[in-house]
Structure 1
Amino acid sequence: MKTSRRTFLTGTGALAATALSQTAYAQTAIDEILSSSQRGLWDDQFDARASTQDGKVVSTEPIFSPATVSHIEQTLLQYQDIVARGGWPMVPGEKALRLGVVDPDVEHLRRRLMYSGDLSERAGISQAFDTYVDAAVKRFQTRHGLPADGVTGRFTFAAMNVTAPVRLGQLETNLVRLRSMSGFLGDRYVMVNIPAAQIEAVEGDRVVSRHAAVVGKIDRQTPILNSKIHEIIVNPYWNAPESIVRRDIIPLMRKNPNYLAENSIRILAGDGTEVDPMTIDWSTEEAAKLRFRQDPGRINAMASVKINFPNPHAVYMHDTPQQSLFNGIERFHSSGCVRVQNVRDLVTWLLRDTEGWDRRRFEQTIQNDADVPVQLSNPVPVYFTYISAWATGDGVAHFRDDIYGRDGVDELQISTL
């Protein structure tokens, strides 16, 4: 679902108007923030409970669940009230604030964190970036999919300064998406959340494992789809799609004629015979008519495993030799397929009901054999979806970068700013 900016903001205004009589508690909390007393620096009398907020930031509840829908509906009331009362304050974003800093901008930061429920109003207002502010910043960063290092860098400031009406609209937009997927999705299933670049393996209404993912670039987007995982290929060959041959391999060969040999990529004709790269005119795109296949091995683009499921987009999930990509603040680097961190754990879970394929055999096959297809005894549903906002408890809202611009507001595409 994509929303125009006018519809987005008009809807949030209407919602705010209906919330005034329902949120006396939230109004009282905001009043306390506005009248919060000044604190001395490093006040030892301040109890640590003042930085502990209600609601679960990390939860085993699946994003696709009736509980998530209920949580986001409750969270909307709080955001409606914040919007009706003028929104939260902007935070100056020129300084990297961190534990131990004393700076006037910390007062703005404290107020902003109080509005979003990350810091209790009992913490008071001061210029000290103390341990309570540190915990609150880390909580905020966790809710926004950022590294929880407690330092207010560029992306943290950008997330904080998205306006309250826009966040309210983002919640509303995603509530519609969540409601459409809150029914029975299977006894166990895999959900790939594209803007979060995260994967959930779900069983019995509980997330049994989460995996960081690398998904498609803005110009090579990972598609929305529903399918069933039916096959695992251990130590697969990688057959380069024609789009990658044209966009990547041909330009690379023009720069470095040894590129294919260095990356164990062979060129095959239609009859399966190998073609010598030196016989191809790389100044043209004639090579795009041929098949490019990378041998299994350490540098293979899919590394140890490929996860297959029928779909019209020719995408799949797989391992990667570029493990460092999973540590990035933003993980939108692929050509549409989904790379999975700790993929062997996910595959072991997928193969659980497939006779003879325990973790030990899987690992031995990786070490000893190449291109081994394994059919799942019970195919597992997989859902590629686009959820950029949800909630895990009362008032605990999670937001992600609207990387593909599907929420309809440029302000939400933080990584492109």
Structure 2
Amino acid sequence: MSAITRRSFLTTAASGLAAGALARVACAAEGQTSDQMLDQLMRENQENGLGSGFDNSSRNVRLPKKSLPTLSPSTAETTQTSIAQYEAIVAKGGWPNVPASATGLRVGARGPAVPSLRTRLSIAGDLELNSGEAQVFDSYVDAAVRRFQVRHGLHADGLVNEAALHALNVPAEQRLAQLRTNAGRLKALTGNLGNRIVVANIPAAQIEAIENGVAVTRHIAVAGKPDRPSPDVRSKITQINFNPFWTVPVSIIRKDLIPKMQAEPDYLTKNHIRIYDPKNNELQPSQIDWYSTEAVNYKFKQDAGDFNSLGSMKINFPSPDGVYMHDTPSKNLFGEDFRFASSGCMRVQNVRELVYWILAETPGWSKAEIDEVIKSGERKDAKVAKPLPLYWVYVTAWATPDGVVQFRDDIYGRDGVS
């Protein structure tokens, strides 16, 4: 399925969240990482008595472990090992399609689609065989659907919405091909990584801070649009900008800013963006012909502030593509399943926590000092004392040493499978 089609049904699915306890879980999960969703789900079940509970309804089905990173030598090995598991699934005929009538099913529902859903979840290891009644969407199925959603980067609300249905009905042969492709990628990527590294997995729209092989913190990200993809990166984080200005790239001037000014002449003023000529003289928007390419000859600079497109922090590293990681005022984007909305850079949820970690070994930049400079609104830069290795990678399938296999959409069409 194309990225555009996926985006459309994700948008539709957002309107179909259930009410009651499950909806509260979904709302609580907005903007959370998969690990945080799991924690929240277990707490909700324990506190509200939702049946046998997410944490114990399938005692032999493993949950993802928080500490296991996407990029590591052990992950490369277990991804390779998981290929045999999926070869066996394919050899036995794969899994059944889940009918569209399963859409919207939730705990307590009965129907002819439930057995197919149960079989699909059991074959992939999300549901224990012979758990519960075959025709009933019970707490076992609810827990299994949520596990499945977490493994596929979807909001774990336990509802079979259109996004979940799409992921459920990706053929086993395609998942096997993804594992084979990504096992090779991981093997090539995991040599001499370093003890303290930052990894951004583009298809997962997720960033990990990894120390001594342990994922110490994870962050939801917003990556590049399919037509403006985030590039692969191997670099080192060298600097943090606090309360930064934003200089609009020429590509965004051409593709976005000029059309916006044609439709909304006060757009620049409302967004605190100033215009400068090559001699650094400030110009007024009325001095530019917005129906020509004249605007690309000028510099557009957005003032610092909570409205700034970079938010309060920007993470810099050498890149031939001119990309970087940054905060954003548009926090709502982190709550979406489809998080590919940037022009190539990465927006980072809870970026302050990541910056704390990056600067932990840099004198003069304690948490308190970082908080103070952000609060002041003053433009300041911090040079990272020990530049940190940074990797932006394209991994759509991986298996961590706990045996949990995860998949993401091939958002840029680079896997060569369909």
TM exceeds 0.5? yes
User: Please, which of 74, 82, 89 is the counterpart of residue 81 of structure 2?
Assistant: 74
Q: Is the 8 A contact 2:107 2:137 kept in 1?
A: yes
Name the SS for the 2:381 alignment partner: strand
Provide the residue aligned with 1:235 in structure 2: 243
Gaps of 5+ in 1: 1-43, 411-417
Deviation at 1:252, TM superposition (A): 0.8
Provide the residue aligned with 2:13 in structure 1: none
State the distance in 2 between where 1:276 and 1:49 align. 63
Q: Is the 8 A contact 1:110 1:125 kept in 2?
A: no
In the TM superposition, what are the counterparts of 1:17-36 in structure 2 within 5 Å? none
Deviation at 1:299, TM superposition (A): 0.5
Gaps of 5+ in 2: 1-50
Change in 2 beyond 3 A, CA 1:204/1:395: closer
State the distance in 2 between where 1:192 and 1:49 align. 32
Q: Is the 8 A contact 2:202 2:230 kept in 1?
A: yes
Q: Which amino acid aligns with 1:229?
A: I
Q: Which amino acid aligns with 1:68?
A: T
In the TM superposition, what are the counterparts of 1:2-401 in structure 2 within 5 Å? 51-94=58-101, 95-123=103-131, 126-393=134-401, 395-401=403-409
Name the SS for the 2:384 alignment partner: strand
Q: Which amino acid aligns with 1:298?
A: D
Q: Is the 8 A contact 1:111 1:125 kept in 2?
A: no
1:371-409 CA distance string (max 9 Å, x none): 211111110110010000001245421000110001112
State the distance in 2 between where 1:280 and 1:70 align. 57
State the distance in 1 between where 2:104 and 2:301 align. 47
Q: Which amino acid aligns with 1:138?
A: R
Q: Report the identity percentage.
A: 48
Q: Which amino acid aligns with 1:100?
A: G
Q: Which amino acid aligns with 1:148?
A: A
Q: Is the 8 A contact 2:360 2:366 kept in 1?
A: yes
State the distance in 1 between where 2:416 and 2:100 align. 25
Name the SS for the 1:213 alignment partner: strand
Change in 2 beyond 3 A, CA 1:91/1:236: same
Deviation at 1:54, TM superposition (A): 4.1
Change in 2 beyond 3 A, CA 1:353/1:395: closer
Deviation at 1:76, TM superposition (A): 1.6
Q: Which amino acid aligns with 2:159?
A: V
Change in 2 beyond 3 A, CA 1:181/1:79: same
State the distance in 1 between where 2:296 and 2:108 align. 57
Name the SS for the 1:123 alignment partner: coil
State the distance in 2 between where 1:140 and 1:393 align. 18
1:118-177 CA distance string (max 9 Å, x none): 111131651100001100111111100000000001011111111111100100100000
State the distance in 2 between where 1:110 and 1:54 align. 14
Point out the more displaced range, 65-74 or 170-179.
Answer: 65-74
**Larger CA Rg, structure 1 vs 2:** 1
1:251-296 CA distance string (max 9 Å, x none): 1111111111100000011111101111111111101110000000
State the distance in 2 between where 1:106 and 1:133 align. 9
State the distance in 2 between where 1:285 and 1:134 align. 55
State the distance in 2 between where 1:383 and 1:343 align. 17
Q: Which aligned segments of 4 or more residues in structure 1 are displaced greater than 4 angstroms? A: none
Q: Which amino acid aligns with 1:314?
A: G
State the distance in 2 between where 1:276 and 1:310 align. 33
State the distance in 2 between where 1:401 and 1:53 align. 27
TM-score (norm: length of structure 2): 0.85
Name the SS for the 2:200 alignment partner: strand
Q: Is the 8 A contact 2:177 2:417 kept in 1?
A: no
Q: Is the 8 A contact 1:56 1:392 kept in 2?
A: no
Q: Which amino acid aligns with 1:323?
A: K
Q: Is the 8 A contact 1:390 1:398 kept in 2?
A: yes
Deviation at 1:355, TM superposition (A): 0.9
State the distance in 2 between where 1:73 and 1:298 align. 45
Deviation at 1:50, TM superposition (A): 6.3
Change in 2 beyond 3 A, CA 1:362/1:98: same
State the distance in 2 between where 1:356 and 1:107 align. 60
Count of residue pairs brought into register by the alignment? 365
